[in-house]
Amino acid sequence: MSVRKNEQTTSSFNVLDTALKLSTYVCNILTNEKIFIPRYQKLIDKIMAESCMIYHNCRVANKIDMRNSDDELYFERAKLRVKLEGEAIRMCEELLTDIMISEKVFHLRASRVKWWTKLTIEAKNSIDAWHKNELRRYGL
């Protein structure tokens, strides 16, 4: 029996979708050299790396096999998974800071900053909910 879309709970797939949406949005907007001028390439590179690592850390954490709880390395894998999620949350915070800096440096429109911030907060909140659930699940 299938579950109606409005009855589904947040899953790791939704977290991955949200993180991927954020990463692809950032990659797309940073290519506009009329706005993101090459003179600030280090900031652009930092933003690109953060957004990609948010998705990467979530994806790697999700790929860690947690099915066999009898395995002696189970809790080590759980710790790694939770660590990667925590790192993704931290990078969302860094990205929010860089968005505020970018607003001033690149003279971004308020609507772009609002949308970008919304996407980042949405990703951060979904990763954070996943992270808290995992902490409870694994007793960490």
Give me the chain's average pLDDT, please.
90
Q: Is 139 left (phi over 0), alpha (psi -120 to 50) or beta?
A: left
**Domain membership flag for residue 14:** yes
Instruction: Please compute, for residue 102, the number of CA atoms within 13 A of its CA located in the half-sphere on the CB side.
Output: 29
Rounded Cα distance between 103 and 128, Å, is: 25
**Domain membership flag for residue 113:** yes
**Domain membership flag for residue 3:** no
The total number of structural domains in the chain stands at 1
**Domain membership flag for residue 106:** yes
Q: Where are the alpha helices (DSSP H) in 5-73?
A: 12-30, 41-63
Provide the domain limits for residue 53: 10-138
Say yes or no to pLDDT of 85 above 90: yes
**Domain membership flag for residue 2:** no
Q: Give me the CATH number covering residue 91.
A: 1.20.1440.60
Mean pLDDT of 68-97: 94
Q: Which of 18, 76, 8 is nearest to 51 (CA)?
A: 18
Structure tokens at 81: 């998974």
Say yes or no to pLDDT of 11 above 90: no
**Domain membership flag for residue 1:** no
Q: Which pLDDT value is given to residue 10?
A: 47
Q: Which pLDDT value is given to residue 9?
A: 45
CB 16 within 8 A of CB 58: yes
The model's pLDDT over 23-66, given as tens digits with 9 standing for 90+, comes to 999 999 999 999 999 999 999 999 999 999 999 999 999 999 88
Mean pLDDT of 123-127: 97
Q: Mapping DSSP to helix (H, G, I), strand (E, B) and coil, where does residue 63 land?
A: helix
Express as a percent the part of the chain with pLDDT over 70.
91
Q: pTM for the complete prediction? A: 0.86
**Domain membership flag for residue 134:** yes
**Domain membership flag for residue 115:** yes
Rounded Cα distance between 80 and 40, Å, is: 34
Residue where the block lists tokens 């931290």:
90
